[in-house]
Amino acid sequence: MALKQRWLEFMADGLHSKRLALDTNVLLDIAAGYEFALRFKTEFQARKFALYYTPGVAAELFHLSVNGNAEQRERSAAALDHLILWGITPIILTDVEKRYRKNFMGFVEDRQVLPKGEVNDARILADTAIAHIPMLVTSDRGILDADQIELSLAFEDAGLPVVHPVHPARLTRSLR
């Protein structure tokens, strides 16, 4: 019971800002028409939450639209074409903010917080923190399964606010 109460308190704090960042896979899930992703987007936008995507997400979508398999090319192209229609806003970073990103990415890599080779995940987390958005909505197991204490320490050591990864279905369930 105590764990559930802590989860609800965490969700209330994170949802207080009314700003959420979306990971690449969530945008691909929306483009694919997956019910859990569409429900998340619809319910949170109806509650006046602002949804954002980072430069790393934009780069990943573009990369997949050119180099992915047929399904990835189709979904990523659809996501890129519809971001404005979906009401999802880009995060733009200054050169100074990009240096904070690089610093965080170094901590994550040195400590092996994320699975090997997931450099863009660290970039997306850093960009979310730099934008002062408390949650990254993702269905990426590598991010969701990362040691949250190690991740929090990497944010703190890089001088960034902590970002909490959360699955869209779990976040939607928390509204009830």
123-172: per-residue pLDDT in tens?
A: 999 999 999 999 999 999 999 999 999 999 999 999 999 999 999 999 99
Model confidence at 13: pLDDT above 70 = no
pLDDT score, position 97: 85
Continuous segment of H or E residues that includes residue 88: strand 88-90
Model confidence at 6: pLDDT above 90 = no
Phi, psi of 135 (to 5 degrees): -135, 140
Domain ranges of the chain: 17-168
pTM: 0.87
Contact 88, 53 (CB under 8 A): yes
Contact 20, 44 (CB under 8 A): yes
pLDDT score, position 100: 83
CATH of domain 17-168: 3.40.50.1010
Confidence class for position 1, pLDDT limits 50, 70, 90: very low
Model confidence at 61: pLDDT above 60 = yes
- Give the span between the Cα atoms of 127 and 58, in whole angstroms: 12
